[in-house]
Amino acid sequence: GGGSRFSMLYCRTERDETDRIFTNAFWAALAAGLGFLLAGIFFSAPLTRMLGADSSVFPPAHSYLKTVLRFAPAFVMNNLLVCFLRNDGAPRLAMAGVVSSNAANIFLDWLFMFRMNMGMRGAALATCIAPLISMAVMSFHILTGWNAFRLRLSLPKKETVRDIISLGLHTFVTECSGGIVIIVFNYVIYRLSGNIGIAAYGVTANLAIVFTAIFSGLSTGVQPLLCKYHGGRNTEASAYLLRLSLRTAVILAVCAYGLVHTHSASLVSVFNSQSDAQFRLLAENGVRLYFLFMPFMGINAVFSVCFTSCEKPLLSQIVSLLRGILLVVPLAFIFLKMRSMNGIWLTVPIAELLTAAAAAVLYFCYVKPYGVYVYRYVPRRKTRGLLPRSDH
């Protein structure tokens, strides 16, 4: 949310406003991080039990959760810097920070857990050190003076924080919905197919995380550009970029589904070390049906960032709620009532399809009428930056 608002104001050369947005986002993020820190200090044990840890797994789970929560401010601030660098014209440095932190996490996991025998506490420390490395890399953007945002010594304003939260709420809803959907699917699949069904869904969910990252990356990459074009009132470029993003999402989805469909047996075999025939059939069928969601998910991801970039956060939140909870949960229980395992696998594709249709209707009703669009955007030559167009 803060990155989106910053990008819109940056195009209008409102430097005082960009500093105000970063300052308010910083204080809001710090407050959230401190809240998790206090939870880790005083409530880590009750939280571990609430999340389902029994006596056999409580010690390592509690150690991991307590350590991670105490480093919560680092995680939150790292995400804040990634968002602002990406919108401040430094996406490569932001990517370098993320990649270096992930690489360090993998190396430190090996070092702490296997060489130093630190167990789960070592794994937690490796995870906690990673964002510190990422922030160290991204700090070069600030140290070299290329940053267009600065931290001001001023108190946060309620209106600004509310605006930032509103623009970023759809991401929060999407992340929370993912956890709820997993819980619901585990319940309904267990009722239909027992533990073997849960194992098959685990395969599908793990593969889905990998392929979902494609559309997450696409929407993350297009968001700063859409915000800048909207901030510069360049509706032709916005419309062109939206069409290009939608086409790219569909093409990537079709290619990804073709790969999954033709190699489903090989993908499932990675998780089927015991060569269980029933598990193999259930998982392969689930992968082929479940992954039909990809084209529609790509469309929804692009529309979500489009609505946010056009300062229509409510529309983005509607899309996130539809594809996250409002459609998936009722459909899952309907197919449970019908005792249809194929229906369970098709729950997410159907929800994404209906959401894509709703997103298209919302776009043509509430976004497109406010801009003048042409069929093809031709970039203007001999100009620098994105200037407001007097003819819009």
Q: Cα–chain-centroid distance for residue 379?
A: 30
Q: What is the pLDDT of residue 5?
A: 83
pLDDT mean for each 10 residues of the chain (392 residues): 81 73 92 93 87 77 90 94 89 92 94 90 92 94 86 85 86 82 88 88 89 88 86 84 94 93 90 84 92 94 90 90 91 93 94 95 80 43 43 42
Q: How many CB atoms lie within 10 A of CB 90?
A: 19
Q: What is the pLDDT of residue 373?
A: 41
Q: What is the pLDDT of residue 270?
A: 87
Q: What is the pLDDT of residue 79?
A: 92
DSSP string covering 130-174: HHHHHHHHHHHHHHTT--S----S----HHHHHHHHHHHHHHHHH
CA angle, residues 68, 35, 66, in degrees to nearest 5: 25
Q: What is the pLDDT of residue 3?
A: 83
Query: What ranges in 53-157 are assigned the alpha helix state H?
Result: 58-70, 72-87, 91-110, 119-143
Question: What length does the chain have?
Answer: 392
- CA dist 244 and 345 (Å) reads 30
Q: What is the pLDDT of residue 186?
A: 87
